[in-house]
Amino acid sequence: MLIDSHVNLSAPQFADDREAVIARARAAGIGLMLTICDRVSAFDAVREIADTHADIWCSVGTHPHEAKENLTLSVNDLTDHATGRVVGIGETGLDYFYDHSPRDSQRAILLIHIKAARLTGLPLIVHSRDADDEMAEILEEEYAKGPFKILLHCYTSGPDLARRAAALGAVFSVSGIATFKAAEAVRAVIRDMPADRIIVETDCPYLAPIPMRGRRNEPAFLPYVLARLAEVRGWTLDEAEARTEDAFFALFDRIPRP
């Protein structure tokens, strides 16, 4: 089964043809998708997509870009939604590249998500950009207070964060960036990731893989990501598919495995 572990189907880029996008994904062999919440205030739209499609699940959370809009976010705001087809907490994290929200706000909201992940047992879906040292420190300090599941999505950070997160049992998600010509540093980190803790994603509508780069990304393009992962790791396509499927269901263990 091909599984797209990170799609943004509620994004406005899909407003006009969302059902066609989902149909193309199925036709391309995508058996399951996880659609991501980027802010709790928009959660209802995310949940509706999951509730109306048996092969789509969802998360609840607020992206670091949107942290400034949810400064009063509480743990209960997340845990109260963490029922039914909600199987992840996030996307949350730190983005010091764009700094769309103040850094102290990003950190505060990340800590709220970590507490919710610990309480619910759901994986924490982490976005980290240009914040490797601080992200590693926060994850280590918080994990020491009580374990929680960690998914570093669309991993493009350096080897040190990867090593420190791996020591905490983190899972890593590979995106279309791995196909980009200039992304050899990303591929070098992928080669050293724990073989049983790698999954794949499109992060659509963003980051379309080669040869679709420049187009709106969609889940149907996931096979290009899987093929590049297989090449980088020296796996066959069947092996890459089986390994990423096993890792996904081990992490998102509240989703019944077909």
CATH number, residue 172: 3.20.20.140
Q: Is 256 among the domain residues? A: no
Between 102 and 69, the higher pLDDT residue: 102
* pLDDT tens readout for residues 211-226: 999 999 999 999 999 9
Q: Is 162 among the domain residues? A: yes
The total number of structural domains in the chain stands at: 1
Q: What is the mean pLDDT of residues 182-203?
A: 98
What CA–CA distances, in Å, run from 192 to 5, 27, 37, 187?
A: 20, 32, 29, 9
Q: What is the mean pLDDT of residues 23-33?
A: 98
Q: Is 258 among the domain residues? A: no
What does the mean pLDDT of the chain come to? Answer: 97
Quote the percentage of the chain above a pLDDT of 90: 99
Q: Is 207 among the domain residues? A: yes
Buried b (16+ CB within 10 A) or exposed e, 43-69: beebbebbeebeebbbbbbbbbbbbeb
Q: Is 193 among the domain residues? A: yes
Q: Which domain range does residue 160 map to?
A: 2-251
Structure confidence at residue 69 (pLDDT) = 85
Cβ 209 vs Cβ 221: under 8 Å: yes
Cis bond leading into 209, ω under 30°?
no
d(CA 30, CA 109): 32
d(CA 205, CA 215): 9
Strands 150-152, 30-35: pairing is unpaired
Q: Is 7 among the domain residues? A: yes
Q: What is the mean pLDDT of residues 77-86?
A: 97
DSSP 244: H
Q: What is the mean pLDDT of residues 24-28?
A: 98
pTM as predicted: 0.97
Q: Is 89 among the domain residues? A: yes
Q: Is 154 among the domain residues? A: yes
* pLDDT tens readout for residues 155-169: 999 999 999 999 999
What CA–CA distances, in Å, run from 185 to 11, 70, 158, 197?
A: 29, 34, 8, 19
